[in-house]
Amino acid sequence: MTRDSTLGKASIVALCCVGLAGAVLASLMFGGRAVSFDELTAAMRGTGDSYLAAIVDSRLHRTVLGVLCGAALSVSGMLIQGVTQNPLGDPGILGITVGASAAVVTVGAITGSAGAAGSFPWAFMGALIAVVLVFVLSGRSRSHVALLLTGAVVSAVLTAYIQAVILRNPAIFDSFRFWVIGSLNGRDLQVAFSILPAVAVGLIVAMVLSQPLNTLALGDEVATSLGTPVVLIRYVGLAVAALLAAAATAAAGPIAFLGLIVPHLGRSVIGVDHRWLLPAVTMLGATLLLAADTLGRVIARPDEVMVGIMTALVGAPILMLAVRKGWATR
């Protein structure tokens, strides 16, 4: 890598940082009731109006959670696409998100609670079981088609199971119908703190896997000849992807499209080197999720459109653009 290309990629990462800072600021300022910058700073210092302070406090909680969930889902998708060499890989398509959802719904149906703070271990187990099931059912073949078809089957079955459990438990339907769509509303910092260790560990391991993923992109035979433990990297990558997707799903519910789209956006602006792609994807994912959440609050004020719906509405045209521009085939 030349010095100029390194500086160029560093500049892109810096721009991603600026974009994330802008998304955080917008998330704190805009919603059902707009808050000026002066009011925001006064509320953050504890010297402003108590009503505005309460608004800013609630937005701060969902902003922190949005950053964590956006980063986790995007990096999860990047890892899945990297280890499977499948441009259509994401937590939803391979059953990870639905597996985590099914586990959380099951525990909620048994306990009568949809609380996110205590659901993470079960969500991780569900995500891990789902991805293992996809790989086992796909057989020895690791082709893109086999994984996609198996993931679609597992996702369809688990989705039907989730719907059956919810419909058979009317008493908890109200609490689950918001969670199943995906939302950052109503979560406090305790939820963010509960998933922070998992997200931090996942991002650190993903950083360690960056160079092996670059080697894996050359093909299994070349990677093996270069001393890369292909099977180990593939399964560790999938386990970390499951960890990140489970954390985000346990906290905010299933959020579609983010894990699929953001890695392609990252590759379109910074290239395929995972050492640079990882920080770009981390910040782009957090930025896109916060932007979708803020837009959902603004367009439906004083109510809001939940972020799971907004990411699907925003993500579909972006995915079509990625296909037309060829980003999904790079």
Report DSSP letters for 89-150, one per residue. Answer: --TTTTTHHHHHHHHHHHHHHHHS---STTTHHHHHHHHHHHHHHHHHHTTT---HHHHHHH
Instruction: Round to whole Å and give the CA distance between 16 and 284.
Output: 6
Q: Mean pLDDT score of the chain, rounded to an integer? A: 85
User: What is the model's pLDDT at position 3?
Assistant: 41
Question: Is pTM, for the whole model, over 0.85?
Answer: yes
Instruction: Round to whole Å and give the CA distance between 279 and 218.
Output: 22
For the stretch 154-189, pLDDT in tens is 999 998 998 888 888 776 676 667 667 888 887 888
Q: What are phi and psi of 112, to 5 degrees?
A: 80, 20
User: What is the model's pLDDT at position 263?
Assistant: 92
Taking 80 as the threshold, does the pLDDT of residue 293 lie above it?
A: yes
For the stretch 47-75, pLDDT in tens is 778 888 888 999 999 999 999 999 999 99
Question: Tokens representing 251?
Answer: 């906290």
Q: Where are the domains of the chain?
A: 35-329
Mean pLDDT value across residues 215-222: 87
Please give the class, per CATH, of domain 35-329.
mainly alpha
Taking 50 as the threshold, does the pLDDT of residue 2 lie above it?
A: no
In one-letter notation, the amino acid at residue 246 is: A
pLDDT > 90: percent of the chain: 33
pLDDT > 70: percent of the chain: 90
Mean pLDDT value across residues 250-256: 85
Instruction: Round to whole Å and give the CA distance between 41 and 56.
Output: 10
